[in-house]
Structure 1
């Protein structure tokens, strides 16, 4: 049976590789993959510009750098998973690129990226198979379970099914990085917490009369340690691949504590699980701790629909399940039935019971805030979490139920076949009996003494036929989805190649112009139909490393919400966002200041005058808020006259903000539309606090005049932006504004000296400045705490390795 199982697994992988091979030939993505590759491309830029891999500045900048591509710049790796990007870029530059250069057609980074995600997707049955073997299932059931793991089908519910990852779907490559290792992480945690994982140590501690020998004890201790280490490694890889999937993975380990209801055992397993989770947190502490300390600069997007945060509720989830939409969209409920049978089959199985509990656990979580309300927010991280993604937990839990469902069906077939065979033989013996008075008991005797080989052959034939039928009707939907996906990839590639030369000429022209942001439409206007192949230009330009404004709204940068206030007809909006270039198919009533630069086939390039990356503004008032309450007041400011007169209020989302002297008005936002003055903030006037509304009680100060500052020159070098500014005489509350999203890790120098920085509306960086000519320099630098924690982790790891090596040599 082992070799049959291997044959099924290999056939499954070959089938996946063949079916999805066109994914390796994609020229441009129309989904989230365009975002993922942009991060890979930016990481490669860091590799090339910071002396990687030998420079001391390489690693700090790889794990924390500015991504200026969208939303007016944001240090995405500070918050977002970055280890997969580093792995792809480092392996490409150290291995793939040198080897491919030996051939006539070197492999590009984009091709390598496509191959990496293609292999992760098609090879997913391997970690599923290994996970099922680790928890104790036989090879045949494990290989069949791995086969069905690749056949899930939903109508885009963001699970582990093909629509989540393929070209015509969502392209959730970051989620793929996480779920590839998640089954192994859960399997090793289960084994580490079970009697099997603790091996003889657990059994000797619970009643064996003889003491284990020293060699036995050592072997069992080593086995237990390795199992725990494997659990830590794979859960860490899951979390590093996608933080949200990592949270799902950590929560998924909780049911494994309840392998039995013995309180002492539960406490022992809880301690061991806590050790695993603490080790995971220690390994990723350089990333997780800074996130927790700077979460106020990672906003929650109002552009995301509410169902993403709240999930669907009891009625909708139950409806989805009963109608087969969670596992079997557009086909009969084959996997749904297998999951249900598997659930009821193992719910009374003491060793595998936690997986049935895990499934119920995630179904309940999948109900989301729609059902549980604020109760679910008691779990750390849930307030900002997209709870509809809990379907991943439902899918992962079901992977351990499907083999049990198949096992029950096989046993039912064998039992039914045995009963039928018994009945046939009894009847046959009664008919052939020479003594008409022979009893039924005597007729059964030959059955007990006869051979069962014929019955086994029939059982195997029936089992193979049953699996073949289930597989056919399951795979058919997978093939239908993939075949249309493959056809569309070919059509998109053909359309892409048709205008590729014109597009490359456009990029060459942009490269020759001063570095600035560009605008290529947006999802809500002509931008949705302005494409190269099947990819909108506002998506595509970012993947080529250009700073694009009006990309699909993000959920990170404080400016990602309010950049959507941009009006392509208003010249001041181009200046505010430093949009100097428009890439379009024609003039869509742009500002009259937009001038046609050149045409490249269907592409037209316009230029718009701006002050560049810097401007001189006044900031006579201060606004305190949290990360959700400033959206409306910034929007109101964007439409106001003070904004056109370059009055940019200071803003802070810190709990105890630093308020400079001389503020004419200090506000504190109470919610999205309400504010108060004189609310006890340090520096505020002693006024009686009263709640006002930003729409009925005008919140802004009118400036005395528009500052007549001038930007003499500017320069961009790596992650440093330098400008020379002239500030007029008698300019009160003047600031030099840098048109990049504020983040604490920016370092600012004024005339060569490090100085303090502020955030000004819409959420840009700024530094107070006096009359005269000054040089300002803004540099993004990796977070210091992040670097300290990373160095500490490396030291701890090296110390641990040396200690283990020393201990091993001492014992030998």
Structure 2
């Protein structure tokens, strides 16, 4: 059953990516941009010009440093690429000093590298039998314009976003099917152009927020690994550890990393628990840095989310009325770990972030931007739009909105069912003799745990020692999600509600606060799959009880009964997923189809006036 669910989830994410590739196939063919992509391409084009100029300028300067010519040349070129004058924005100013510039450098750098391939392939083509095919390929590469390459990158990032959501859900140890439906839903949030994670924010007929897209591809992974980092530290303390098995794990892992540490494996032995913590920490730092590199605003949202994730456990302890000493100890630990996680990305990007904060007084506020961009909409309008479904389901029934609220309810219901998740409650059962009498084992389990096992596809006769998203140790991975949703919802109210309080956050006085809808959409992409999973398992539980009450199974057929239950859950989940796609996809399909029509019309009009 596990293998089948794994295969089905991979098919789901493959379909989600393929659907995007087909629906937005006209994006790379655009000849001209009507939105913010024109500004972004202006930065791309200027970066390419500065690259050519910097190579010449730095080559002349390196004559004085012949001994260090190569490193000095790289440093010299990067210094110009990260701080230069941009004449085609407003009246011209040094935009990279204030604005994200690494995506532009990466795009121009890879484009220049690809165009250098034909020069390398000329010699090889002389000895090839398929000379004509290679020459045609070389010709296409040589004719690949920077404009087309830029739009191709945007197209691929948009289409492969479901993969990022899929991996993020799996990082949080959610079931395969939950991750699969998350991928299917990831590109189908619908708003009336509210600058969130919906297609109108990125495609040709929309806003063309490619800079947001550069960061958005990494943002779910950053949130997932951050949650996992804080949760792994807590859970690993409570897991049952056999001292002998613990030593075997250290020796096994040390051999795996021996090639990295020159075979001094005895000096570098880590257990699986320690490895999970270290890897989650390093990957959290990596993806937070990549997100901030892509878009400083989205990076700021991540830095604001880190304390919320860290202090989820102290908040839960407070709600459970645990001792003050225990809450104080958890709060101190959360504070230290927040600093440890937030500091490395800031240090890595300090060459850019610190000057930006220090020089923000020279950054003018444009009168072209309406005031609601800076102050957002206020609590009343945001809550009305949320209740009406306009934040997730504009132009269709509020299905996605409903799933988000079901997901929030499922997490809180799980909290009440699990009770205390402090030390000692996360230990695995020491015995695995459940197979001797699986029916008795199931009867002694709570309803929540029976439901949870079906979510993860685990057979009832194999329940002993298994885990699901509703087990105490795994629950830590999803516990921060409702708090993050509430946090971003409050921030989305903006200064219209909070006044000058938000200005206490660095750079918030010039931040477009209506963009906090991105954080709201991000958390919703985690909650909605949990919601549909909870609905599926609830229906399965009702039908399972009906089968038990109306059909008598002998002990010889108990295993067969459990297999029927698992297959029943699988069928219900597939049916709900298909029905959900039937209700949600038409809105995206209609919007994307007209987008292709507009691109074709614009390309035709462009060719008519190109000669002028």
Q: Tell me the SS of whatever aligns to 2:508.
A: coil
In the alignment, which residue of structure 1 is the partner of 2:610?
500
TM-score, length of structure 2 as denominator length: 0.75
In the alignment, which residue of structure 1 is the partner of 2:18?
14
The answer on whether the counterparts of 1:422 and 1:447 sit within 8 Å (CA) in structure 2 is no
The answer on whether the counterparts of 2:39 and 2:89 sit within 8 Å (CA) in structure 1 is no
User: Using a 3 Å threshold, how does the CA distance of structure 1 residues 328 and 57 change in structure 2: closer, same or farther?
Assistant: same
Considering only aligned residues, what root-mean-square deviation do their CA atoms show, in Å?
Answer: 2.5
In the alignment, which residue of structure 2 is the partner of 1:103?
138
In the alignment, which residue of structure 1 is the partner of 2:28?
24
TM-score, length of structure 1 as denominator length: 0.57
Q: Tell me the SS of whatever aligns to 1:104.
A: helix
1:451 Cα deviation (Å)? 3.0
Residue 255 of structure 1 pairs with residue 308 of structure 2: yes
Residue 88 of structure 1 pairs with residue 107 of structure 2: yes
- Structure with the bigger RCO (C-alpha within 8 Å, sep 6+) is 2
In the alignment, which residue of structure 1 is the partner of 2:362?
297
In the alignment, the residues of structure 2 paired with residue 459 and residue 207 of structure 1 have an alpha-carbon distance, to the nearest angstrom, of: 33
Residue 381 of structure 1 pairs with residue 504 of structure 2: no
In the alignment, which residue of structure 2 is the partner of 1:403?
529
In the alignment, the residues of structure 1 paired with residue 6 and residue 398 of structure 2 have an alpha-carbon distance, to the nearest angstrom, of: 29
Larger mean CA deviation between 224-233 and 53-62 belongs to: 53-62
In the alignment, the residues of structure 2 paired with residue 450 and residue 69 of structure 1 have an alpha-carbon distance, to the nearest angstrom, of: 70
1:47 Cα deviation (Å)? 1.1
In the alignment, the residues of structure 2 paired with residue 379 and residue 207 of structure 1 have an alpha-carbon distance, to the nearest angstrom, of: 43
In the alignment, which residue of structure 1 is the partner of 2:230?
193
Equivalent of 1:359 in 485, 494, 514: 485
1:96 Cα deviation (Å)? 4.2
1:203 Cα deviation (Å)? 4.4
Equivalent of 1:461 in 571, 594, 606: 571
Equivalent of 2:171 in 125, 130, 134: 134
In the alignment, which residue of structure 1 is the partner of 2:95?
76
Larger Rg: 1
Residue 273 of structure 1 pairs with residue 273 of structure 2: no
Equivalent of 1:483 in 593, 597, 606: 593
In the alignment, the residues of structure 1 paired with residue 212 and residue 304 of structure 2 have an alpha-carbon distance, to the nearest angstrom, of: 16
In the alignment, which residue of structure 1 is the partner of 2:67?
none
User: Using a 3 Å threshold, how does the CA distance of structure 1 residues 462 and 97 change in structure 2: closer, same or farther?
Assistant: same
In the alignment, the residues of structure 2 paired with residue 177 and residue 190 of structure 1 have an alpha-carbon distance, to the nearest angstrom, of: 22
In the alignment, which residue of structure 2 is the partner of 1:236?
289
Residue 321 of structure 1 pairs with residue 340 of structure 2: no
1:3 Cα deviation (Å)? 1.0
User: Using a 3 Å threshold, how does the CA distance of structure 1 residues 159 and 97 change in structure 2: closer, same or farther?
Assistant: farther
User: Using a 3 Å threshold, how does the CA distance of structure 1 residues 110 and 383 change in structure 2: closer, same or farther?
Assistant: same
The answer on whether the counterparts of 1:366 and 1:390 sit within 8 Å (CA) in structure 2 is yes
In the alignment, the residues of structure 2 paired with residue 457 and residue 130 of structure 1 have an alpha-carbon distance, to the nearest angstrom, of: 25
1:412 Cα deviation (Å)? 1.1
In the alignment, the residues of structure 1 paired with residue 560 and residue 404 of structure 2 have an alpha-carbon distance, to the nearest angstrom, of: 37
User: Using a 3 Å threshold, how does the CA distance of structure 1 residues 459 and 307 change in structure 2: closer, same or farther?
Assistant: same
**CA-to-partner distance for each residue in 1:737-766, whole Å, 9 max, x for gaps?**
xxxxxxxxxxxxxxxxxxxxxxxxxxxxxx
Aligned pairs for 1:23-42 within 5 A: 23-42=27-46
More helix, by proportion: 2
The answer on whether the counterparts of 1:97 and 1:107 sit within 8 Å (CA) in structure 2 is no
User: Using a 3 Å threshold, how does the CA distance of structure 1 residues 454 and 59 change in structure 2: closer, same or farther?
Assistant: closer
**CA-to-partner distance for each residue in 1:339-365, whole Å, 9 max, x for gaps?**
010011112445121111101111111
Equivalent of 1:343 in 408, 411, 423: 408
Residue 288 of structure 1 pairs with residue 387 of structure 2: no
**CA-to-partner distance for each residue in 1:523-565, whole Å, 9 max, x for gaps?**
xxxxxxxxxxxxxxxxxxxxxxxxxxxxxxxxxxxxxxxxxxx
Q: Tell me the SS of whatever aligns to 1:407.
A: helix
User: Using a 3 Å threshold, how does the CA distance of structure 1 residues 485 and 444 change in structure 2: closer, same or farther?
Assistant: same
In the alignment, the residues of structure 2 paired with residue 71 and residue 406 of structure 1 have an alpha-carbon distance, to the nearest angstrom, of: 47
User: Using a 3 Å threshold, how does the CA distance of structure 1 residues 164 and 444 change in structure 2: closer, same or farther?
Assistant: same
In the alignment, the residues of structure 1 paired with residue 559 and residue 409 of structure 2 have an alpha-carbon distance, to the nearest angstrom, of: 35
User: Using a 3 Å threshold, how does the CA distance of structure 1 residues 99 and 233 change in structure 2: closer, same or farther?
Assistant: farther
Larger mean CA deviation between 170-179 and 463-472 belongs to: 463-472
Equivalent of 1:420 in 535, 546, 555: 546
User: Using a 3 Å threshold, how does the CA distance of structure 1 residues 19 and 371 change in structure 2: closer, same or farther?
Assistant: same
Specify every segment of 5 or more residues in structure 2 that has no aligned partner in the other structure, as ranges.
Answer: 59-69, 120-134, 254-268, 315-326, 416-474
1:465 Cα deviation (Å)? 2.0
The answer on whether the counterparts of 1:163 and 1:169 sit within 8 Å (CA) in structure 2 is yes
1:404 Cα deviation (Å)? 1.2
In the alignment, the residues of structure 1 paired with residue 498 and residue 593 of structure 2 have an alpha-carbon distance, to the nearest angstrom, of: 40
In the alignment, the residues of structure 1 paired with residue 604 and residue 562 of structure 2 have an alpha-carbon distance, to the nearest angstrom, of: 61
1:452 Cα deviation (Å)? 4.6
Residue 471 of structure 1 pairs with residue 475 of structure 2: no
In the alignment, the residues of structure 1 paired with residue 104 and residue 402 of structure 2 have an alpha-carbon distance, to the nearest angstrom, of: 39
**CA-to-partner distance for each residue in 1:583-623, whole Å, 9 max, x for gaps?**
xxxxxxxxxxxxxxxxxxxxxxxxxxxxxxxxxxxxxxxxx
User: Using a 3 Å threshold, how does the CA distance of structure 1 residues 199 and 499 change in structure 2: closer, same or farther?
Assistant: same
1:275 Cα deviation (Å)? 1.5
User: Using a 3 Å threshold, how does the CA distance of structure 1 residues 288 and 413 change in structure 2: closer, same or farther?
Assistant: same
Q: Tell me the SS of whatever aligns to 2:507.
A: coil
In the alignment, the residues of structure 2 paired with residue 12 and residue 413 of structure 1 have an alpha-carbon distance, to the nearest angstrom, of: 26
Q: Tell me the SS of whatever aligns to 1:487.
A: helix
Equivalent of 2:197 in 142, 160, 169: 160
In the alignment, the residues of structure 1 paired with residue 371 and residue 489 of structure 2 have an alpha-carbon distance, to the nearest angstrom, of: 19
Equivalent of 1:218 in 250, 259, 270: 270
Q: How many residues align?
A: 483
1:474 Cα deviation (Å)? 0.6
Residue 117 of structure 1 pairs with residue 122 of structure 2: no
1:178 Cα deviation (Å)? 1.1
In the alignment, the residues of structure 2 paired with residue 126 and residue 238 of structure 1 have an alpha-carbon distance, to the nearest angstrom, of: 16
1:71 Cα deviation (Å)? 2.3
Aligned pairs for 1:674-753 within 5 A: none
User: Using a 3 Å threshold, how does the CA distance of structure 1 residues 108 and 376 change in structure 2: closer, same or farther?
Assistant: same
Specify every segment of 5 or more residues in structure 1 that has no aligned partner in the other structure, as ranges.
Answer: 427-442, 503-812
In the alignment, the residues of structure 2 paired with residue 463 and residue 224 of structure 1 have an alpha-carbon distance, to the nearest angstrom, of: 33
Equivalent of 1:311 in 376, 388, 400: 376
1:207 Cα deviation (Å)? 9.9
